[in-house]
Structure 1
Amino acid sequence: MISEAPVSWDPNIHRFEPVPILKGRSHSSPFPTSAFDVVPQLDLNAFMPLSFNHVRNIFDEVLPRELRLQIFWALIKLYEEEHERLVCSGKWTALKAASSRNRWVGRDRAMRELVKFSRVSKTWRSLVFDGQLWEDVDLQAFAKLPALFLARLAENVGPFVKHLDLSGHTSLASNTLVDMTNSLCVRSAPTLNFTYTQLTTVNLQGCTNLSTQSLHGLLIRSPFLRSLCVKGLGAVTNATFDVLALCQHLTSLNMNRCIHIDGEGLRALGAAVLSRGDCLALKELRLSGIQDVFDDALATLGKAAPDLEILDLSYCSSLHNSALAALVSCTEEEKHKTKTISLTAREAGMVVRDSRRYIRRVTALRHLSLSHCSLLTDIACSNLAYALPRLEFLELAGIGGELHDDGLVKLLNTTPLLRRLDLEDASSITDAVLSVLTPVKEDDSASGGDVAPLHTGHALEHLVVSHASRLTNDGFSALIRVCPKLRFLEADSTLVSGSVVREFVCTSRERKIKDAHFIAVDCRLVGENVVKDIMPQTRPRRGWRSWEARKLGYLDGRDGEDLKVGQDECDEERVVLKSFYNWQMVDAVKAARDRKRKATKKLRNGSSEQVSELEEGKWTSRMKWWTPSRRSSGNNTPGLDDGDRDGCVIM
């Protein structure tokens, strides 16, 4: 039953009206029961989250692993190509290279960014350190890497590594190298305990903390080794030669400045290979500074290494003329096993009355360095004549006045492919040496359709004759005019004059030879006027654009520095001319940069003051040296302020 609302009669309108119901007494508190009661209630539908479709991670969930590795590999190549393109376009400048942002470029920057990707996730970490991306481990630019990173890197990449370059890692410890060797090894078979690496190239130059045991452990487990550089390591001993005798594929060995090796170790290496009826595969052998190298060691080397192309025996104080004769000597029984040549006594540099025939081995040497071997004379050159027909680089610096024309001319006459010759400190040589290096013109030597024979000097590019005071300007001029490829001529402390310098610069510009050099330090006949005349075509130094060259302060024309002084040192078309006056220009550029830096600093600090009169006077005096009216530098030499003239004190 539905209850009806109460009504009452209203006499004014003569009808019934509903009676209003009043609210009863409230017994609740006027304060809210909760702090949240003051917040008005709203429609819940207004706060419903929006629905989005789930974005699928295609790279990690869809792409196969090999394709993801190819993407990382393409990223590395992209960094390399980007830097090459920047260099080729001419936008790579010295200031950009000196910036901290460009400290790592090319592949080094790519590998650095690749390691950063390993922080994304565990999946990316496994991709970054996949061995397929680390076949070439070149860490030369990161010499301060911790040992823990090196050990983990070797553990992750495993036996994929074929090229290992740790040069400059002076803190590399022996135990770290042992751990890396174990990680790089692959087992020959599951049932065998013998393990080996797949390394073909190893460079440990500068790793001075290594022990002999750790080094030998790496070499023994590297049967496929082709190139090894252990320059300057104290861990290298004669026992290292015995270990290397097992590396049958070794073609390049650099043991320069290893103080614990001598000629006996070298002889043992060759004897061990010959005893098993085999030959060394060596094509490059560098043993600068090796001690006690005698005839038997080089005789064994000549027999055991018939394919040797590069031999460095510089700074061997015990090396004698007879040892080089033993290197190319050959007996009647051995001449059928190798290519030989039969010489008369005159051709062999012996006594003319001797009627015997001398058999010499025709070697494959292209580069021979005998610099600073104090016991050698030009007789050594006579002993090598006719045995080095492929010789391209010959270094005989520091031998001194014992190097005369006779033996040297005999050797040079039999080396038509010679490209570089270093005769520094050969004070006894004369124009006869320059004459044999000057090729005959083709018009004079060839007639009709006959092909002219190769003459020594036609391929000459680099010549050093510093301190050869008996050479004349006529010999230099003839050499410069006829040698078509000559681009480097060093003639310190000689009688070369300014006319020869001018001719070399003009000839190099006509031939469009890049990076040509003429070094004429301490040449009194090269005057200031000549240097000024050819200044638009020369530069004082050969600049290069790199982070490592930032402190050398090369002046690069691409940077657009408004110094109003100096020459573009990075322009390959300019000839590098080194003399007393050119070095002053380097000081002038440095002074101009200091002045510009001080002015910029004052402007940055809000000061409107100009450079002080004292500084302006110094700058003006520096610039006077290059004014055409000046005949000598005197006290106005750039960079020689009063405060800097205390270098030489007469006691």
Structure 2
Amino acid sequence: MRNVHDSKRRSRESSEAPASPDAGIAPTPPDVPFKGRNRQRILRGIQRISSSPSLPGLGRPRAISNPYSIRRGSISCVSLSTAGPSQTSSSARSATPQLSHLNLKGVAGPDSPTGKREATLEVTELDDTEECLAIRKIQHGSPNTSSATSSLPSELKGRTKPVEKKDFYFWDNMPHEVRIHIFSFFRPKELVRLSRVSKSFYGFCFDGQLWTSIDASEFYQDIPAASLARIIAAAGPFIKDLNLRGCVQVEHYKRTEIIVKSCKNLMNATLEGCRNFQKNTLHSLLRSNEKLVNLNLTGLSAVTNTSCSIIAESCPQLESFNVSWCQKVDARGIKTIIDACARLKDVRAGEVRGFDNVATAESIFHTNNLERLVLSGCSELNDEALKIMMHGVDPEIDILTGIPEVPPRRLRHLDLSRCIRLTSTGVKAIGHLVPELEGLQLSGCKSLTDAALEPILASTPRLTHLELEDLEEITNTLLSEHLAKAPCISILEHLALSYCENVGDLGMLPVMQKCVRLKSAELDNTRISDLVLAEAASMVVKRSKPSPGANTRPKVTLRLAVYDCQNVTWTGIREVLFRNAQIRHVVGQPMGITYPTESIGLKCFYGFQMTVDEHQKRVLRGDLVSAGRLERKWADYMQANEEAGAGGAGYRRRRRRARHAQALHADEEDGGVVGRRRARTLGSCSVM
């Protein structure tokens, strides 16, 4: 134990003893094994590695963040140095963390008593002032340089701090007009939501330039009433087009006052459906907007003849005026506006009373500026008033033609539907005086006959819409002899003959053959049969343009309403379905086949409608093979049903339908004379 303690004491004394300046390594105690050669070998290896020019390229790149913090006394560095300063070449960035000075204190040359080069390993602490991590310098142009680098300019060497980038406020520096244009792409509901972002956005969202046209009928259910009132109040001076149709938010009197006080430059105003609009508020709105061009007051109870007088005084530029279903207005108020507004072209006064007034009829005749006149449901309109509107009072009559010598009317659309007091005498006066007429509606005038419509069809070459619903006195002669030969038959697009019970195949077949631009035909509750459907399908095929491409999708270009027609069976429906999906073979085409581009939309018996709708869906999406398969299976199903009912009730039902169809055909052949059923015979009687 004593020897062990002595050896420990001697080793501690030898470690605390300072190194001799004359010797590189302290003498080793006799009881400790000598390791000088191994240490010298390690130090030479370190010196050789540190002076190698390929050292930086062998290691991994240095991390961006140094894990060693530079603090006093935090870490020690090993300094190795030789007797002479050795120049080392390396890359600008060392592959390993840089250490401090490599100081090798050795004795070499004549000063060393031993004549050998020895080195000592010193451990020095980092100092905050001068002894920081050494940076390995690189001499540019040296052959030992492994990578080329460029030094900073002289004017930038003194700068140590990076230049701070200033914030660029792109939105604030943008012109006001550009920002307004960006907000103009948002919908009204989106603008209301964006207004909550900031005060700046609030000002842009409710800027009047974005609300020059307000159509509240599209979004009034999506935004609160307060927001709508705020919009109108903010954009009032800019609003030119205001549509509040069906808008329930303005029914409160306070909100209507906001509209009146804000809107001063209206040109188009629609207040239809605002039933609680007060009379005084409406009059204030009319007085404050002298630039009104189009005014729609449909169904407002606040509109009276006094309102019409205010309009006549305050709105001289009025062109369109609609007071349909206003119960407190009569024909005298309409007369006031017609006399005062010289630019008036459109008057709609459906179900307005008092149109049997001769003075009102004279005003309509003298103005001769009206292009649209809607008097539907005016039950007091009679033949005398209608004649004065067309001919005036006591006109001169041409002896040869019997036509009054008056300027032709400029009417383009005339609606006299449900005027039950009109007869053929009054409606006949329209003929030869309306050459520019494009739309004529006479539905519900049940006393009209063929004689009332013959002169009209012969003198209206621009007629495209004709509605003759519920006219029981119209026959096939009017259609086959007059409509089919009229100058407008080639451009007729809409034909309504619903509930014309005397119209059948004899009248409609010539019309379907010559009316090549027909887009819709309402033939429900008539006596047409499958022949009309087949002719309509053939007409559509003839007018459609051939398409050699299989990717072409057909479009519905003709809509037929044939429900409640007793003579229309599944056979006629199948013919239409077959034509809609037919792929035809044409000689002149390169591929030899053409695909359909037009189809017919049917509204038929409710038992067939589901199949027709499914077939139309397949045709419109271009799946013609599937549509054809559906048509064939449906035909097989209907034929099987008929064969299943061949005996018993099914047989009797078919015989009854055949007899009924033959009787109807016989009635048409006899000119509509219907005799007793028992007296009519289908063949010669063997007894009599």
Alignment of 1:85-484 (within 5 A): 110-144=187-221, 145-172=223-250, 173-184=252-263, 197-246=264-313, 247-271=315-339, 273=340, 280-303=342-365, 305-330=367-392, 342-344=397-399, 347-348=402-403, 358-400=404-446, 402-435=447-480, 437-438=482-483, 440=485, 455-484=487-516
1:70 alignment counterpart: 181
Shift in CA distance, 223/304, structure 1 to aligned 2, threshold 3 Å: farther
SS in 2 for 1:379: helix
Q: Which amino acid aligns with 2:203?
A: S
Q: Is the Cα contact below 8 Å between 1:298 and 1:324 reproduced in 2?
A: no
The answer for unaligned runs of 5 or more in structure 2 is 1-9, 18-68, 73-161, 545-554, 582-595, 618-629, 645-688
Q: Secondary structure at the match of 1:628?
A: helix
Q: Do 1:437 and 1:479's aligned partners in 2 also have CA atoms closer than 8 Å?
A: no
Higher relative contact order (CA 8 A, sep 6+): 1
Task: Determine helix, strand or coil for the equivalent of 1:70.
Answer: helix
% identical equivalent positions: 29
Say if 1:495 and 1:303 are closer, same or farther in 2 by CA, change over 3 A.
closer
Distance in structure 2 (CA, Å) of the matches to 1:633 and 1:178: 68
Distance 2:188 2:319 in 1: 29
Between the aligned partners of 1:515 and 1:368, the Cα distance in structure 2 is 26
Question: In structure 2, do the counterparts of structure 1 residues 290 and 306 end up closer, same or farther at CA, with 3 Å as the change threshold?
Answer: same
- Answer with 1 or 2: which has the greater Rg: 2
1:296/1:522 Cα in 2 relative to 1: closer, same or farther (>3 Å)? same
SS in 2 for 1:202: strand
Distance in 2 of aligned mates of 1:434 and 1:219: 48
2:579 and 2:287 map into 1 onto residues whose CA distance is 55
Query: Is contact 1:230–1:236 with CA below 8 Å preserved after alignment?
Result: yes
User: How much does 1:316 deviate?
Assistant: 0.9
Work out which of the residue numbers 467, 492, 505 in structure 1 matches 2:524.
492
- The Cα of 1:457 is off from its aligned counterpart by 2.0
Q: Distance in 2 between matches of 1:584 and 1:200?
A: 46
What displacement does 1:313 show? 0.4
For the 8 Å contact 1:625–1:632, the answer to whether it is kept is no
- TM superposition shift of 1:386: 1.9
Deviation at 1:473, TM superposition (A): 1.2
| 1:276-308 deviations in Å (ceiling 9; x for gaps) | xxx531111111111121142432431453210
| Alpha-carbon contact 1:529-1:631 (below 8 Å) kept | no
Alignment of 1:633-644 (within 5 A): none
Q: 2:637 and 2:459 mapped to 1: Cα distance?
A: 51
Q: 1:456 and 1:624 mapped to 2: Cα distance? A: 39
Give the 3-state SS of the residue equivalent to 1:214 in structure 2. helix
How far the C-alpha of 1:378 sits from its partner, in A, is 1.3
Shift in CA distance, 377/538, structure 1 to aligned 2, threshold 3 Å: farther
Which structure 1 residue ranges, 5 or more long, are not aligned? 1-9, 18-41, 77-109, 185-196, 274-278, 336-340, 349-357, 441-453, 540-570, 593-621, 637-651
8 Å contact 2:533–2:576 — kept in the other structure? no
Q: Secondary structure of 2:638's partner?
A: coil
Please state how far the C-alpha of 1:404 moved relative to its aligned partner: 0.7
User: Is 1:525 the counterpart of 2:567 in the alignment?
Assistant: yes
Q: Between Structure 1 and Structure 2, how many residues are aligned? A: 454
Cα-Cα RMSD: 3.6
**Could you say which residue in structure 1 is the equivalent of 2:634?**
626
Amino acid at match of 2:602: L
Distance in 2 between residues matched to 1:13 and 1:518, nearest whole Å: 121
Q: 1:572 to 1:262 in 2, by over 3 A?
A: farther
After superposition, give the CA deviation of every residue in 1:104-151 in whole Å (9 maximum; x if it has no partner). Answer: xxxxxx232233222222112212222222111111112334332222
**1:426–1:468: 8 Å Cα contact kept in structure 2?**
yes
TM-score (norm 1): 0.63
- Tell me if the contact between 2:365 and 2:388 (Cα under 8 Å) persists in the aligned partners: no
Question: Which residue of 59, 63, 70 maps to 2:171?
Answer: 59
Equivalent pair of 1:299/1:329 in contact (CA under 8 Å): no
1:178–1:217 Cα contact (<8 Å) kept: no
* Distance change >3 Å, CA 410–CA 149, structure 1 → 2: same
